Amino acid sequence: MAQYGQVPTTEGHLHSDSRFATPFSDSSSSWDAQTELYAAPHGPSNKEFAPIPAQDTQQLSSVAPRAKKATRRPWLLAIGILSLVVIIVIAVVVPLVILKHQSNPTGGSSGSGDSEGATSGTSGSIVTMEDGAKFTYRNDFGGDWTADPKNPFGPGGKAQSWSKRIGTEEWVWGQDVARGVNLGGWLVTEPFIVPALYEKYVNNSGGTPVVDEWTLSVAMGKNLAHEMEDHYKTFITEEDFADIAAAGLNWVRIPVGFWAIETINDEPFLVGTSWKYFLKAIQWGRKYGIRIYLDLHALPGSQNGWNHSGRAGSVNFMYGVMGLANAQRTLTYLRILAEFVSQDQYRDVVGIVGIVNEILWGTIGQTPVQSFYNAAYEAIRKATGTGSKAGPYIAIHDGFQGPVPWEGHVLTFELLQIRI
């Protein structure tokens, strides 16, 4: 069975890791109720009603009641047996009929009830998550979910009746309408989005001001792996993806940091674990019909010096002592990400790759920014190929300059979007 288990590495190839596989269970059952029919016992013979001789009339008052009681006993017994049979039949057959009615021979479920092992469902069906927890899928817009463990990369869900089904219907920009939400604070933390995660470490033993994920990672120390994974596990869950579809949305933007792939030297981030949860997001996106915009949100050296870049302070990307080296690292990471999501099992879910978030144009300068965008485009298209079907769309940020500086500069780029 194919698995969600390939982790991108800087070596340019993919490793398999069963930890990232999603366990499913598959079971089916059918019920056939058989009912035995019981015939009522025949009434008493007429022999019991033989005429009483005249000489015995003195005994009539005593004989008659005994004869009358004898005639009623078999009938009462028959009625009692018949009633008992009816009760037994109702007690046995009705529950089996109900169970059979709730069971779907295809493994799906479209109504209420426990659908553990089901591979699809509509509004009202029960979804069993990876950890065994269950929730009721609600979607008033005609959406459905699909997840077949025997074909995990097959056709997926449909977010709403008007949205394209993942795996069978191609998304067409300019024709289909994207309605989405940004999942900020999940795989790249930001203090104002997840304040509780930061407030815990404000008064840390090292006296480090906790203002970004770099300083948060330092302050967490030995608790880093446990604390960050607990955050990843609970901040966004499978049920959230179902709720996103239920809200009428069909896209999510997921920011990731470069530490999803690797860290070097003294970079304190938890490496690799966030990628595990991005893979879960791909799985959930397919299941509920939600397409994904993968955004490389935090770059080595920081592209803007703001806390959502991973490290607040100075800009050290395409600027400063290590600016070019950090840009080169970023090109490698973009190639790896693009190569990964362009695989057949992921390309119908991940439709956009954003190469940098909110680059600081005023500090770095127009020429270096445009130069990096050119190099990033070439690195990605070298991995995905060119043409209308060549991998995901590439999204670039306008550097807060609007569309004018980009007129004429990106006309030769295929499958490109500009965030303005």
* pLDDT of amino acid 103: 39
Predicted confidence (pLDDT) at residue 31 exceeds the cutoff of 80: no
pLDDT on residue 77: 63
Helix (H) / strand (E) element for 395: namely strand 393-397
Compute the CA torsion angle 71, 73, 74, 75 (nearest 10 deg). Answer: 80
**43: pLDDT confidence band, cut at 50, 70 and 90?**
very low
- Of the pLDDT bands very low, low, confident and very high (cuts 50, 70, 90), residue 67 is very low
Phi-psi region of 201 (alpha: psi -120 to 50; beta: other; left: phi over 0): alpha
Region of residue 302 (left: phi > 0; alpha: psi -120 to 50; beta: else): left
> Binning pLDDT at 50, 70 and 90, where does residue 410 land?
low
- How is the chain split among helix, strand and coil, in percent rounded to 5? 40, 15, 50
pLDDT of 204 higher than 80:
yes
Residue 264 has pLDDT above 90, yes or no: yes
| H or E element that contains 394 | strand 393-397
Give the pLDDT of residue 10. 55
Share of the chain above pLDDT 90, in %: 61
pLDDT, residue 60, reads 31
Mean pLDDT along residues 131-137: 96
The 10s digit of each residue's pLDDT in 384-405 is 988 777 789 999 988 888 888 7
pLDDT given at position 206: 81
**Which pLDDT does position 116 carry in this prediction?**
61
Round the average pLDDT of the chain to a whole number and report it: 80
Residue 162 predicted with pLDDT over 50? yes
CA 343 to centroid of chain Cα atoms:
20
Residue 79's pLDDT band (boundaries 50, 70, 90)? low
Q: Per-residue confidence at 80, pLDDT binned at 50, 70, 90?
A: low
